[in-house]
Amino acid sequence: MIKQYTVFGNPVEQSLSPQIHALFAEQVQRRLEYSKTLVDETKFRESVAQYQNSGGHGCNVTLPFKGEAFELCDSVSDEAELAAAVNTIKFQPDGRLVGHNTDGSGLVRDIKSNHQINIEGKRILISGAGGACRGILYPLLASKPSLVTITNRSMDKAEALVEKFSEFGPVDALSGEQLKQSSLQYDIIINATSLSLKGETPDLDKNLVANGALAYDLSYSRSSDTAFVSWARGTEAGKATDGLGMLLEQAADAFFIWEDVRPKTRLILPKIR
């Protein structure tokens, strides 16, 4: 039997997931098909039901449906609960939908395993307080940084995240103005805004970047550096990367949830890049 998986999104044309999962399946010798499904913004629930009824085994979920997927699932992992978002659903034989969020674990694995950077004891600055920031906060705090600072255009969102996640570790929210007056420097600076998609960067002072820091853009580009990566190259950062590694690692975690085997991502990244 060839197992069927898909990614639901809108837009979804740009998704690299079919290519990534085809490479995973080839590597671990599993017979599966992975497609892209463009869903009307009002028809997510019925599209998932239709796909499940037609024999699908599971799906990924991308923008703008991760919150709706969380509502739809019968049960969810702790990470998905805290993120209030689901990016991976496994269809159980009895028809139940089990939701997971692998975005945060994907980022942490990329930082630690691929970039060989230890998070413990480090100061982390996250610019952006949307769905992606919410998804990465718990896995980052579980890695025991000394501080996570969130800054965002809309500070109420950053403050709400601090309130929700402070039981898991040291996290605060600083406005752009407060950051300008701060003398702190950060070891890991994460761009979790969607600005790179427009070729723009968050308004961050270069002095916030500690010597040798890791600058990490969650957005990615296969053709050239993202705007944030280009900005970071003009700072004291020792390394600047986009989020392609995170994309690959979150996909490998999803593959593991479905197929019980984790592909070796190191061999796949150059093919995707």
Q: Which of 3, 43, 66, 157 is catalytic?
A: 66
99 CB-near residues (< 8 Å, 6+ apart): 69, 70, 72, 73, 75, 76, 77, 80, 86, 88, 89
- Kindly give the interhelix angle for 244-259 and 17-28, rounded to the nearest 10 degrees: 50
To the nearest whole angstrom, how small is the minimum distance from the Cβ of residue 65 to ligand NDP? 11
Q: Which stretch binds ligand NDP (CB under 6 A): 21-29, 34-42, 112-120, 123-131?
A: 123-131
Query: Annotated catalytic, 164?
Result: no
The alpha carbon of 120 is separated from its chain's Cα centroid by a whole number of angstroms, namely: 20
Instruction: Pick the closest to residue 189 from 215, 211, 167, 208 (CA basis).
Output: 215
Count how many residues are written for the chain: 273
Q: Which stretch binds ligand NDP (CB under 6 A): 4-12, 14-22, 124-132, 137-145?
A: 124-132
Instruction: Pick the closest to residue 36 from 55, 19, 53 (CA basis).
Output: 19
Q: Which of residues 176-235 bind ligand NDP (CB under 6 A)?
A: 192-197, 218-220
User: Any contact of residue 250 with ligand NDP (CB under 6 A)?
Assistant: yes
To the nearest whole angstrom, how small is the minimum distance from the Cβ of residue 44 to ligand NDP? 16
User: Any contact of residue 67 with ligand NDP (CB under 6 A)?
Assistant: no
The alpha carbon of 260 is separated from its chain's Cα centroid by a whole number of angstroms, namely: 21
Site residue total, ligand NDP (CB under 6 A): 25
Q: Rule CB under 6 A: which residues touch ligand NDP?
A: 103, 106, 128-133, 152-154, 157, 192-197, 218-220, 243, 246-247, 250
Active site residues: 66
